[in-house]
Structure 1
């Protein structure tokens, strides 16, 4: 059961983030100034060379609060879906989520994942059952053509649901890299009252995001740093 957002915020404890590390990771670079979303104004420090520069003090605070929330959520047994389908974030998301023992989506957000969870859960259960049957040799009774079709079905389900096999109910939260690209996930989370942690660049609308991490969501270094900190927070809760 998803906790009320305000209830979770009360128990979050701050996690310290180093400003120098944020700078070295390139978290401070936003998009070109003409591409910005004015609602990101509170997080912008300056414009240099036509590019928005984030106020890293705000980034530090946002990441500290987001990791604290993630740590608290994990400590309470909640699952956080790590979501990042853009090319440069896919492998980072996969590796970090696996390391943290959290569900993830790195290929494509399936519409209805939250709003039609019971149906999505059936697809996840089907994937689990088919893989178990294949491992147990249950496919041997079928023709080679039938086995090939079943293998293809497993591959299809694995692509979209493979990172969610340990998710037994609606997640306690979403952690999203690029909230603009993952707009469908944001809207579903809002509708289902699932808290959102977001890596939010200067061209995004931070309004729907509960835990805003204002930082570059395109550069690999920035994505890696933020995602790793989220994974570390979750793992710290399990010690």
Structure 2
């Protein structure tokens, strides 16, 4: 968001205030000087205040909440309708309906009634009514569209209120203050800045002044909305990447689990306990068979040696 330049505000005539005799003393901190019976607004302070307001509105838009614009004066209503509709924000350019904020549920019922009439036109229900009834309903629909058509998407109280003329829209400011809704406003030298959270001291009568101020404000809102869109896209992509990873982690334990259960087969090792068969080793004790060696006495046959003696005698 580019900072507001002094020259741009000067060319748009934002520095012209009201006649000195119509001034509000509470606007004295924002008045630079007096010239030809007219107060001149300090545009350096205007630029600073405008940048602060734009930054705050950007954050509100980034959070996804709505900002309600109010401008019912002739020289501002068309500008507001054109520029605010471009950023998809609600606005009121016709008469401010009393209780718009403090009695919001009733306003929502009127908006729902308008959508109900649209459904009746769509499904052909109106064709079964008399010509007079259809005419009454169409007139009612046109009236609702004129007063509430621009806030049809406002399903809950707005997060902030932006007012072009504080004196003309004093009822809207009072309702917002009662509900603690922050108020942003273009405040001229004849207006009271009390009750305004973000004061933008500037000329609220010249269409060129209102136009440049709304250009800066709507540009900040648009930037906030685009940042919100980028954040949502990155979150969605991160979730898509995270899901396959989780699936892989869940599959890995499932495959390994059967192997762990098969491990009890290893417990079949108790078969090794059959080793007691080794105790049959006592069969080795049969080695006493080796004691057969005593049969060696068969060698006692040596007494036959006398036979050799006989042989000797024979030889003799």
TM-score category of the 2 structures, normalised to the smaller one: over 0.9
- In structure 1, the partner of 2:24 is 37
Other structure's SS at 1:52 match: strand
- The answer to whether structure 1 residue 203 and structure 2 residue 177 are counterparts is no
Indicate which of 155, 160, 169 corresponds to 1:173: 160
- In structure 2, the partner of 1:230 is 217
Indicate which of 89, 92, 102 corresponds to 1:102: 89
**CA displacement at 1:15 relative to structure 2:** 5.4
Equivalent residues, number: 226
Q: Verify the 8 A CA contact 1:78 1:172 in the aligned structure 2.
A: yes
**CA displacement at 1:131 relative to structure 2:** 2.2
Separation in 2, partners of 1:51, 1:29 = 7
Runs of 4+ in structure 1 deviating by more than 3 angstroms, as ranges, are none
Other structure's SS at 2:56 match: helix
- In structure 1, the partner of 2:313 is none
- In structure 2, the partner of 1:65 is 52
- In structure 2, the partner of 1:26 is 13
Separation in 2, partners of 1:232, 1:214 = 19
Indicate which of 138, 144, 149 corresponds to 1:151: 138
Separation in 1, partners of 2:108, 2:162 = 20
User: Whose RCO is larger (CA < 8 A, sep 6+)?
Assistant: 1
User: Which has a greater percent of helix?
Assistant: 2
Based on CA coordinates, which of the two structures has the bigger radius of gyration? 2
Separation in 1, partners of 2:218, 2:124 = 36
Separation in 1, partners of 2:138, 2:54 = 39
Q: Verify the 8 A CA contact 2:64 2:225 in the aligned structure 1.
A: no
Separation in 2, partners of 1:30, 1:180 = 14
Other structure's SS at 2:86 match: helix
1:65 and 1:160, CA in 2 relative to 1: closer, same or farther beyond 3 A? same
Separation in 2, partners of 1:218, 1:135 = 43
- In structure 1, the partner of 2:74 is 87
- The answer to whether structure 1 residue 16 and structure 2 residue 13 are counterparts is no
Separation in 2, partners of 1:62, 1:106 = 24
- The answer to whether structure 1 residue 112 and structure 2 residue 64 are counterparts is no
Structure 1: tracts of 5 or more residues without a match: 1-13
Other structure's SS at 1:190 match: helix
> RMSD of the TM alignment (CA)?
1.1
Other structure's SS at 1:115 match: coil
Q: Verify the 8 A CA contact 1:15 1:68 in the aligned structure 2.
A: no
Separation in 1, partners of 2:79, 2:151 = 16
Separation in 1, partners of 2:119, 2:21 = 52
**CA displacement at 1:141 relative to structure 2:** 1.3
Structure 2: tracts of 5 or more residues without a match: 227-316
Separation in 2, partners of 1:22, 1:132 = 47
**CA displacement at 1:68 relative to structure 2:** 0.7
